C-alpha cells in the first residue's frame, strides 16, 4: 500500500506525492513513518524532513507544526516549509552570520528575549543550510 504525503503551509501545498517513507523531526526526536503505520498525531519540531521515493531521498526544511499519520496517508501542517531547490544558499549563509552576530550581542545584554530570538534565527538558518547541502550531495 502506498503512502500519500502532503505538506501544507498557510500559503501553499509544498508537497503532494506518493512516497515510500517519511522521516520527520518530531518534537521529541526523529520519527520514521512507513505504510501501515499506527495512527499518530504529533507536534513537529523545526528541522529536516526527509522523503524516500523511488530509491531517491529528498529533503524539505520544516519549521514547526503538526503531523497526522494514518495507515496510508501522512499530512504535515507546518508554519513554513522549503524544498531544497527553493533555498538560496547565499541568503541562508548571510542569515546564519547575522543570527550569530545577534546572538553575540544578546549575550552581553540582559534581554533574554533578544537571545532567544537570535537562537531561533540561527537554528532556522542552519536547517536551511543542511537541507540545501543535502541537495548537492551525490546520491
Angstrom CA distances, 86 to 31, 45, 82, 99, stand at 24, 20, 6, 21
pLDDT of residue 37: 93
Q: Which helix (H) or strand (E) holds 113?
A: helix 112-136
What's the rounded mean pLDDT across residues 31-43?
94
Give the count of beta carbons closer than 10 Å to the beta carbon of residue 19.
Answer: 19
Report yes or no on whether pTM surpasses 0.75. yes
Q: Render pLDDT for 62-120 as a digit per residue (tens, 0 to 9).
A: 988 999 999 899 999 998 898 878 877 788 878 888 888 887 877 766 667 777 877 77
What integer is the mean pLDDT of 35-59? 92
Residue closest to 53 by CA, chosen among 70, 34, 76, 68: 34
Phi and psi at 136, nearest 5°, equal -85, -15
User: What's the CATH number for 88-136?
Assistant: 1.20.5
Cα 13 from chain centroid?
A: 14
What burial class does residue 127 get, using C-beta atoms within 10 Å of its C-beta: 0-12 exposed, 13-18 middle, 19+ buried?
A: buried
Where do the structural domains in the chain lie, given as residue ranges? Answer: 3-84, 88-136
Range 3-84 classified under CATH 2.60.15.10: yes
Amino acid at each position: 500500500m502506498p503512502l500519500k504525503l502532503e505538506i501544507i503551509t498557510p500559503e501553499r501545498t509544498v508537497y503532494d506525492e506518493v512516497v515510500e517513507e517519511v522521516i520527520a523531526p518530531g518534537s521529541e526526536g526523529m520519527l520514521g513513518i512507513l505504510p501501515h503505520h499506527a495512527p499518530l498525531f504529533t507536534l513537529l519540531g523545526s528541522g529536516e524532513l526527509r522523503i524516500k521515493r523511488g530509491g531517491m531521498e529528498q529533503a524539505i526544511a520544516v519549521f514547526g507544526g503538526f503531523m497526522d499519520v494514518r495507515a496510508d496517508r501522512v499530512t504535515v501542517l507546518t508554519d513554513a516549509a522549503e524544498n531544497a531547490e527553493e533555498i538560496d544558499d547565499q541568503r541562508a549563509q548571510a542569515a546564519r552570520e547575522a543570527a550569530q552576530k545577534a546572538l553575540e550581542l544578546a549575550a552581553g545584554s540582559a534581554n533574554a528575549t533578544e537571545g532567544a530570538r537570535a537562537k531561533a534565527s540561527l537554528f532556522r538558518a542552519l536547517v536551511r543550510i543542511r537541507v540545501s547541502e543535502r541537495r548537492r550531495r551525490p546520491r
